[in-house]
Chains A and B, each alone.
Chain A
Amino acid sequence: MSKLKRILYAEDEPDVQTVVELTIQSMSNYDIKICNNGKELLETVEDYNPDLILLDVMMPEMDGPTTFKNLQENDKVKNIPVIFMTAKAQTHEVENFKNSGIIGVITKPFDPLQLCADIEDIWKSKITV
C-alpha cells in the first residue's frame, strides 16, 4: 500500500482554502497544494503528481463532477483516488460517482479535528482493497 503524502485540493472559497490548508498542516504530515477551481487542478495535477485529490463539488469555471470526468479521461492521472467535499444536502448528487473511482465523500462544514482522521480512514479502507 502506498503511503499518503501529497494532496491536491480544488476549492473556490479563499477562507475555506485557508482553513483546510492550516488544518492539514497542523494536524498531519501531508503536503497540500490548493487550486482555485477544477480547471486549475487539471492544469496542475500532472506536475504535482498527488497521492490523493480533494474536490469541492460546486466551483466556478469547472465544478467537481466535471473535473472528475476529465481526470478519468486522462490515463496518466485516472488512477489517483478522489474524495469529494460537499454540503450534506448534496451528497446524493455525488453518490453516482462512488462506483466509478470516488473513494469517499467528506461533508461540509467539516470538523477540523476530524478532517485528517477522516481522510486517513477513507484512504486506508479504500486503498487496501
Chain B
Amino acid sequence: MSKIIITDKKCVGCNKRKGYIRTILEHLTDFVVVTDKNGIIEFANKEVQKIFDTEKYVNKHISKFIPDIDIEEMQEAVKYDFQITKKNKEVLFLEIKRSAVFFDESPLIIFIISDVTKEKELESLKHQFISIISHELRTPLTSIRGALGLVSSGVLGELPDKVKELINIAGNNSIRLVNLINDILDFEKIKAGKMEFKYEEYEIMPLIEETVKFNKEYAQQYGVTYEITKSIDNVLINVDKDRFIQVLTNLLSNAAKFSNPNEKVEIVVERMNSAIRTSVINKGTGIPLDFQTKIFETFSQADSSDTRSKGGTGLGLNISKSIVQKMGGIIGFKSIVDDKTTFYFEFPEIHKSNYKENILICEDDTTSAFCLQKMFQKMGYNVDIAYNAKEAQDCLLNKEYKLMTLDILLPDKNGLILLDEIRSEEKTKKLPILIISATEKDYLKIKSKHGIVAWLEKSFDIENLEGIITNLMSKKNRINILHVEHNEDVLEIISSTLRNNANVTKVTSLANAEKIVKELFYDIIILDYRFPNGTCENLVDVIKESINKNAKLIVFSAYEINSELESKVDLVICKTKVSNEQFLQNIETFINQNKGVSPCQN
C-alpha cells in the first residue's frame, strides 16, 4: 500500500491518475483505513462501512470502530487479529495489518483490514474435527489393543507360533496407531495454543530415572540399553512433569530406534552455564548433513523409507521442541555421521525463592511508604515501615532485613546522618540501602562512602524498582545485565535463560532505560535497535555519558545498523540471522569472557 500512496504524491495535480488510484482503492475487497499519527481517520474505502456500521467515519478516532486498538505504538508495522461485534450482533474476525508512511513529511498510519471470519470458522471446525476423530478412533483402538494384548500374553491359552507372530504384529501396530493419534492431538493442541502446562518445582534426577526406567523395555526390542552416566543431585527445575517425561521419552526412543544394535545409549545430566542440560547420546548412523537443518520440522525423518522401518510420525521432535520452548527451555543436537549423535535440552535451575524475607521502608510520607510497601509485597517480601529515624533504628536492631529504603528528608534526623549511624553498626554495615529522593550529586557522594547503596528519584515506577532491587541485592560475582527491548516475549525468553548467572533488569521503553542507566551500574547492556518512538542511538549516547560508560553494549536488532553506531558498541547481533538459541549462546560466551571484569556496585 505504501507504494501506491507514494506514487500518488508524485502525481499531484494529475486528476485522472488520482481517480484511477481511488477507484482501485474503493474496489479492493480488503478494507483500507488511513489515519494521522494520532489515529484520527483521514481516509477509508467504502467497503469499510460493512464493518464500521456507518458512513460517518472520517475525522473520528479509529478506536471508536475497532475497540482496544493499540494507539501507543502506532508507527510500528505489525499484524494482529481482532474480533468485533457489529450492531446486528454478528461477530467478525479481522486481521489487521498496520504500517506507517510519511506523506508531505507527516506520518500516516495505514490499516489494511481483512475479514477472516470464514477462515477462523474453518480453523475451529478443523480442531473440532480432529479432536472428535481422535476420540472416536481411540475407542475402538482400546478394544483392539486390549484384546490383542490379552491373546498374545497366552493367559487365555497358548498360541501356535505363527498365530502368535501375527497377533504380535497386529498388537504392535495398534500401539503405533495409538502413539500416532496422541502425536496428532498434541500437535494440534500446540498449534492452537491449547496445550496446558502445570508447572511445579521438581528435582531433576528422579524425573529422569523414572523416565529411563519406564522406557527400558522399549529399548530392549532394539537390543539397546540406557545408562545414566552422569547425574547431578539436588537440582530443581520448574516444569510440567508429564510434558518433561514426554520430551525425554521421545529423545530416548529416537536414540534407541536409531542406534546400532547392542549399543548403549548414554544419558548425561550436567550444569551448562546457567542451565541444567540433559543429553541423550547414541551411536548409530547419525543424522545426514543435509537433513540436520530440517530435524525439528514436522513430518520429518531423514529417509522417508525410514518412517516405515523405524515407526513414528515424524512429529515427535517438532512437538518436543515446542514443549521445551513453552516451558522456557532450549533443545538442540550435535551429530557426527556414522558416529555419535547427541540430543539435549536445557531448563534453568530454580533456586529457592526469597519469599518472606524482610524489607524495611524508612519514609515519613505515608503515601510514598504505602506505595513502596505494595510494590515490595507484590514482589513477595515482608515489609515493615518506619516513619522516622528512631523507628528505623529500632527495627534494624530487632530484625534481620534483606534491604532498606531510606528517605533523606526525615522529621527527626537527617537521613545522611542516619546512614552514617547505620553503617557504624556491625550488624548493618553491609545492608543494601536504597536511597530515595536525594539528588544525583548527593548519591555519588554517598555511594563512594557508604557501600551498597542505590539511588532513586521519587517518581519511580515498578519496572525500574524491581530491577534496582535485584541489582542491589545481588552477589558481587553475578553479572548485572540491563536488557532494553520492547518485545516482551523476547525479554521473557532472554531473562529466564540468563537469570541463573546474571541479574537481568528488563526495560521495555527507551525513556525508562535512559532513567535507569543514570542510576545503576551494569556490566552488560543489551539493546534492541528500533523502538516505537525511535532507535536506540540516543540511548547509546546517554549511556556513554553516564556512570555506565564502561558497560559492554550489545545491539540485538532486526535492522541493519549504521557504522557509526556499530563503532560505539561492543557486539551487534542480527535478529534475522540468528535463532534465539544462537543469540543466547552468543550472550553467554560474552558473559563468560566478561566475568569479573567490573564488580558491579561498590
Contacts and interface: CB of A to CB of B under 8 A. Distances in A.
Interface of A: 13, 15-16, 18-20, 22-23, 26-27, 58, 87-89, 91-92, 95, 108-113
Contacts of A87: 135, 138
Interface string B181-199: 0100100010000001010
B182 A19 contact: no
Contacts, number: 63
A111 B149 CA distance: 7
Nearest to A108: B142
28 contacts: A13-B142, A13-B143, A15-B140, A15-B147, A16-B139, A16-B146, A18-B143, A19-B150, A22-B150, A22-B156, A23-B146, A26-B150, A26-B156, A87-B138, A88-B182, A88-B185, A89-B134, A92-B196, A95-B198, A108-B138, A109-B138, A109-B141, A110-B146, A111-B149, A112-B145, A112-B146, A112-B149, A112-B150
Interface in B415-429: none
Contacts of A95: 198
Interface in B510-561: none
A112 B167 CA distance: 14
Interface string B120-136: 00000000000100110
Interface in B235-280: 242
Given A18-B143, A19-B142, A19-B147, 10 more contacts: A13-B143, A23-B146, A26-B150, A91-B242, A109-B141, A109-B142, A109-B178, A112-B146, A112-B153, A113-B150
Per DSSP, chain B at the interface is helix
A58 B143 contact: no
Interface residues of B, number: 26
B14 interface: no
Contacts of B12: none
User: Lowest 8 CB-CB distances: which A-B pairs, in order?
Assistant: A19-B146, A15-B143, A112-B149, A109-B145, A109-B142, A112-B150, A26-B155, A108-B142
A42 B146 CA distance: 26
B418 to A, nearest CB: 51
A112 B175 CA distance: 12
B300 to A, nearest CB: 23
Per DSSP, chain A at the interface is helix
B131 A89 contact: yes
A79 to B, nearest CB: 28
Contacts of A13: 139, 142-143
Interface of B: 131, 134-135, 138-147, 149-150, 153, 155-156, 174, 178, 182, 185, 189, 196, 198, 242
A58 B139 CA distance: 10
Nearest to B153: A113
B135 A109 contact: no
Contact of B135 (A15, A22, A58, A113): A58
Contacts of B155: 26-27
Contacts of B149: 111-113
A22 to B, nearest CB: 6
Contacts of A20: 146
Contacts of B145: 109-112
Nearest to B139: A13
Contacts of A27: 155
B146 A109 contact: yes
Contacts of A16: 139, 142-143, 146
Nearest to A89: B185
Contacts of B139: 13, 16
Nearest to B182: A88
Contacts of A26: 150, 155-156
Nearest to B174: A109
Contacts of B144: 109
Contacts of B142: 13, 16, 19, 108-110
A41 B59 CA distance: 67
A98 to B, nearest CB: 11
A19 B135 CA distance: 18
Contacts of B146: 16, 19-20, 23, 109-110, 112
A18 B144 CA distance: 11
Nearest to A85: B142
A89 B153 contact: no
A35 B140 CA distance: 19
A22 B474 CA distance: 63
A55 to B, nearest CB: 15
B7 to A, nearest CB: 54
Nearest to B147: A19
Contacts of B196: 92
Contacts of B178: 109
A89 B185 CA distance: 7
A109 to B, nearest CB: 4
A19 to B, nearest CB: 4
A20 B198 CA distance: 31
A13 B146 CA distance: 13
A58 B132 CA distance: 12
Nearest to B188: A89
Contacts of A92: 196
Contacts of B135: 58, 87, 89
A18 to B, nearest CB: 8
A26 B146 CA distance: 13
Pick from B140, B143, B144 the residue with the most CB of A within 10 Å. Answer: B143
A17 to B, nearest CB: 9
Nearest to B134: A89
